[in-house]
Amino acid sequence: MERIEVGTVGDLDEKSVLRLSLPDGRAVTVAVLADGEYAAFEGLCPHKGAPITEGRICEDVVICPWHAFRFDLRSGEPVGTPSIMKLSVLPVTVESDRIFVTITK
């Protein structure tokens, strides 16, 4: 596992997100949750491979821009629709206002 610095606390608020590419090419989005915690998720929807990083975030849920599938940003679990698909979420830590995402290689 590798921890990557993706930004600072001042880089985003509850109305913005950080979209970035990891060194291995994966797209990742970092968002602020309703309680002020941070969440990170990989860029492809597990349903049809849509660019979920372009989806709308409402409270602690991301909504896929293609088919409106909803995923909880804390767990990656689907919301409102029974499914075995799960969004890939990544651990986030904050140290001295610096935001880090932990990835597996």
Per-residue pLDDT at 105 exceeds 80: no
The count of domains in the chain is 1
10-45 per-residue burial string, b: 16 or more CB within 10 A, e: under 16? eebeeeebbebebeeeebbbbbbbeeeebbbbbbbb
Q: What is each CA distance from 55 to 8, 92, 94, 103, in whole angstroms?
A: 22, 20, 24, 21
Tens of pLDDT, residues 39-95: 999 989 988 889 998 889 988 999 999 999 999 999 999 999 888 889 999 999 999
Q: Is the pTM above the cut of 0.85?
A: yes
Range of the structural domain that residue 34 is part of: 2-103
Q: For position 68, which CATH number holds? A: 2.102.10.10
Residue type for 56, please?
R
